[in-house]
Amino acid sequence: MGQLHIPGDRDLKGPWFIGTKELEELDVILAFADAKFRELHERYYEEKTAQILKDYPAFTLETAQELSRNQTKVVPAKVSLLLSDKSTLHDTTVKGILKDARLKNLFPVEIALSVGDYRDQFTLQLGKNYGSDFRLKVNSADNSIQEDILYKVEEWVEKYQPTRPNRIWKTWAYIIGCIGVTLLSFSGASIVEKVKPDFKAEYTKDINQIIKTGVNKNNEAKAMELMLKYTTNYVPENVVEKTRINKNAIRYTLVGVALLMAGIFHPKTVIGVGRNKPYLEVYKWYTRFMVVTIPGVLLYPPLSAWLKDLLGL
């Protein structure tokens, strides 16, 4: 009977904010995968020994075991931490990397965990230089072991995966920045505007005054003149335009600046250990601030107007 193949490849977009706690939990998963593969290789070893003795009856048990052990060697776990200067720290555990005294003066960029060989393999790559930020590969001849490892990883992913707003932000950062530039180009030029006095309001004021006193021979000509000016939107010659600050343009300019910043300084995957530790906290605060601020600035005017209409204010 054939076995059901369970795909063990995962490519997940960032940004991932990974600190010491998240890495220590990955270390537990790596140790779990290592233990499972060692159990499986012990099974291979026993099966291979039995097969050698069956094929070569003249061999002693010790000879068969030695041949079997050479053919079923376990590939040990390996952890690699790539740094900003392109150098790399290596260890067999994540904790060993975290305890390295050199780490406190270094800027980590990527981390890779691996154990096993081509037949039974667990590989996890995490960092901003990987195409999908998070790349996972789990293969095993034993489906139950593959399922167990995937379950552990998926638990971790669900716990620490990027928020939906951050994923959208990173994916559309370039478009967001372009929108910001467009908004700035239009609104920035309209912050200070020149306007002509509202003569129609003045005409209305004078007309209302005549209506109150009543039309008579003394103001009849004046009333007729005002009506003509009002209906034709008459503007006197040599009117001096006034300079006015456009509040809406200021609001949209601020939104444009925020969008441009969001496009340039979009969230990135951060391995927040060593000298990256403070940057991790800054990124967490910055993304929370931007995700709340930009929608708030955009939505406040229409929501405010809607609430005023609703409450009759």
In the chain, domain spans: 9-159, 197-240
* Cα dihedral: 157, 161, 164, 168 (round 10): -110
> Is residue 157 very low, low, confident or very high in pLDDT (cuts 50, 70, 90)?
very high
User: pLDDT (tens digit, 9 = 90+) per residue, 90-127?
Assistant: 999 999 999 999 999 999 999 999 998 777 889 999 98
The dihedrals phi and psi of 227, each to the nearest 5 degrees, come to -65, -40
- Ranges of H-type helices in the chain: 20-55, 61-71, 94-98, 143-160, 164-171, 173-187, 199-213, 220-232, 247-264, 277-311
What pLDDT is attached to residue 1? 34
Kindly report, residue by residue over 19-49, the tens digit of the pLDDT: 999 999 999 999 999 999 888 877 766 677 6
Summarize pLDDT for 232-288 with one digit per residue, the tens.
Answer: 777 666 666 677 777 778 888 888 888 898 899 888 899 999 999 999 999 899 888
Q: State the DSSP H helix or E strand holding residue 127, giving kind and residue range, or none if neither.
A: strand 121-127
DSSP calls for 69-115: HHHSPPPPPEEEEEETTS-EEEESSHHHHHT-GGGGG--EEEEEEEE
Collapsing DSSP to helix, strand or coil, 156 comes out as helix
- In single-letter form, the type of residue at position 290 comes to M
Q: What is residue 312's DSSP assignment? A: T
Q: What pLDDT is attached to residue 154? A: 92
* Residue 67's pLDDT band (cuts 50, 70, 90): low
Percent of the chain with pLDDT over 90: 31
Amino acid at 269: T
pLDDT at 171 over 70: yes
User: 204-239 pLDDT, tens per residue?
Assistant: 777 777 778 777 777 777 778 777 777 777 766 666
Residues 121 and 115: their CA atoms lie apart, in Å, by: 6
pLDDT of residue 301: 65
Q: 140: exposed, middle or buried (C-beta count within 10 Å: 0-12, 13-18, 19+)?
A: buried
Give the chain's mean pLDDT: 81
Residue 120 buriedness (CB in 10 A; 0-12 / 13-18 / 19+): buried
Q: Which two tokens stand for residue 229?
A: 């000016």
Q: Quote the pLDDT of residue 44.
A: 66
